[in-house]
Structure 1
Amino acid sequence: MLQIIAWIALSIGILSSIIITIDVIRHPQMMTIMNIVWPINGWFFGPFALWTYFKWGRLKAKDNQKEDTRGRPEKVFVSTSHCSAGCSFGDAVGVPIVAITGLAIAGSTLFAHYVVEFVLAYVFGVLFQFYAIYPMNKEAGAANAIKSAIKADSLSLIAFEVGMFGWMALVHFVFFAEPPKPTEATYWFMMQIAMILGFLTSYPANWLLVRKGIKEEM
């Protein structure tokens, strides 16, 4: 039954990503990196990502004529979506690396996943943030944009990984006698849930960063 649920959830997520991808091709975002962010969110948020994209994301399309009436909660949601997409992409890239290499740390593949995926999530998270900051202020230079990206994304990224890694630990040690493998649909369904939880733990951090002026609301 869990396998069936997993395949359904993954199929819905992929379909949501495809729908969003088609729409951002037809209606590109003013901030180029968001053309990648929204489809990634579609993969783990599914229909909810579709709803938020068409309600809030399309307001930032280059051809949009509607007034942007979003409040801070909605803008912070989009900021968190941007952060979560970079983290999720890095985490997803890290999974096959650990699986193919058979890497283990302290005898644990879970710890290897933690280390590899955190590093890649950090790299891609900062990279996504860089491409949000640099195009708006190229005069300040790329080095300054990288520093700003690290400052803006570090706390929110750590908060994301707390939620994600916490769920991964429960999956590994509590929920299954034999944890699912990356070759199984159940594994990636668990990753979808982990990314949603990471988003939820990252939202308060993004709110704090926006309130203190460290990060721009989007």
Structure 2
Amino acid sequence: MIEFGWLWFLAEPWFVLPFYGIGLLGAGWVIWDAYHVNTPLKPAMRWAWPVIVFFFGPIGLALYFFTARAPGIADIDDQDAKQERHNEYVLPSSFRRTTGSVIHCVGGDGVGIITAMIMARVFGLSFWWEWWFEYLVGYLFGTLIFQYKAMSMHASSWPQAIYMAFRGEWYSMLSVMAGMGLVMGLVTPLAVTEQPDPNTYAFWGFATLGLLVGFVLTYPMNWLEIKVGYKHGMGRA
């Protein structure tokens, strides 16, 4: 049997509190940066990045700096020049474009998933009821709040935008929830013996782990969806 006891630190306040503290401060800084310095970011990405940084802490900040914030952009004042520098940094890189798609996906889904997870634990839902509830709420959050706004820029009508949003989110959400399911159903019980409640450090520590595993698993799915045209990648980011 695989041993996950070494993940015990995810339930400890000395890890969870500083980690989320960095995430909270980092998310606040990203919001400021996106509106004052890194202004080429699309509106949907300005919402998604703070969510990712909040849950991923220093990992999220590293992703932001290396994939969405062009070097030297803080030294440029002209908005057209900022846009050009950003495009030069992002558009030629499949890695950065795909990362942007994953950030957009997990940022939207993650808000719904964690919200549903809190509700499911409060109401004492069983594993599979909780899994499907998280899938439904995360899917609706990701589709209607994040994907629809992005797809409306490429669709000729709102029904087409809704169709494109639901189509793109369906596959990526399955892969995100595969990661959450692995952590919820396999890793967490072996690491801390039971599913933690929202008022515990373990809940938030393993919630981050679940989203991280979901991030990794949905990465190739988002890459494939960009290739077939279901998604558009970071683009202007």
TM value normalised by structure 2: 0.80
Which residue is 1:18 aligned to?
28
Report the counterpart of residue 6 of structure 2 in structure 1: none
Matched ranges for 1:169-208 at <5 A: 169-208=185-224
1:165 maps to what in 2?
181
Unpaired runs of 5+ residues, structure 2, are 1-8
State how far apart, in whole Å, the 2-side matches of 1:164 and 1:33 are. 23
Identify if the C-alpha distance between structure 1 residues 137 and 207 changes in structure 2 by more than 3 Å, giving closer, same or farther.
closer
Range 43-52 or range 150-159, more displaced: 43-52
Alignment of 1:98-137 (within 5 A): 98-100=120-122, 102-104=123-125, 108=126, 110-127=127-144, 128-134=146-152, 136-137=153-154
Structure 2 residue 69 is the aligned partner of structure 1 residue 49: no
| Counterpart contact for 2:68–2:96, Cα < 8 Å | no
Q: CA deviation at 1:103?
A: 4.4
TM-score, length of structure 1 as denominator length = 0.87
**Runs ≥4 residues deviating over 4 A:** none
CA distance 1:161–1:186, shift in 2 (3 Å): same
Counterpart for residue 4 of structure 2: none
What is the root-mean-square deviation of aligned Cα atoms in Å?
2.1
Q: Percent identity?
A: 26
Secondary structure at the counterpart of residue 149 of structure 1:
helix
- Where structure 1 has 5 or more consecutive residues not aligned to the other structure, the ranges are none
Q: CA deviation at 1:184?
A: 0.9
Deviation per CA, 1:103-143: give whole Å up to 9, x if none: 42xxx2x3332122110111012121111111x246x1111
Distance 1:172 1:146 in 2: 35
Measured in 1, the distance between the counterparts of 2:188 and 2:60 equals 27
Answer yes or no: is the 8 Å Cα contact 2:188–2:206 preserved in 1.
no
Name the counterpart of 1:211: 227
The alpha-carbon deviation at position 55 of structure 1 amounts to 3.5
Q: Which amino acid aligns with 1:24?
A: A
What secondary structure sits across from 2:104 in the alignment? Answer: helix
Aligned positions, number: 210
CA gap of 1:173–1:52, structure 2 versus 1, over 3 A, is closer
Contact 1:91 1:120 in 2 (8 A): yes
Amino acid at match of 1:115: W
Query: What's the secondary structure of 2:89's corresponding residue?
Result: coil
- What do residues 27-79 of structure 1 show as CA deviations (whole Å, max 9, x unaligned)? 444421111001011012222322332333235x9932515233111110111
Is structure 2 residue 72 aligned with structure 1 residue 72? no
**Residues of 2 paired with 1:155 and 1:184: CA distance?**
32
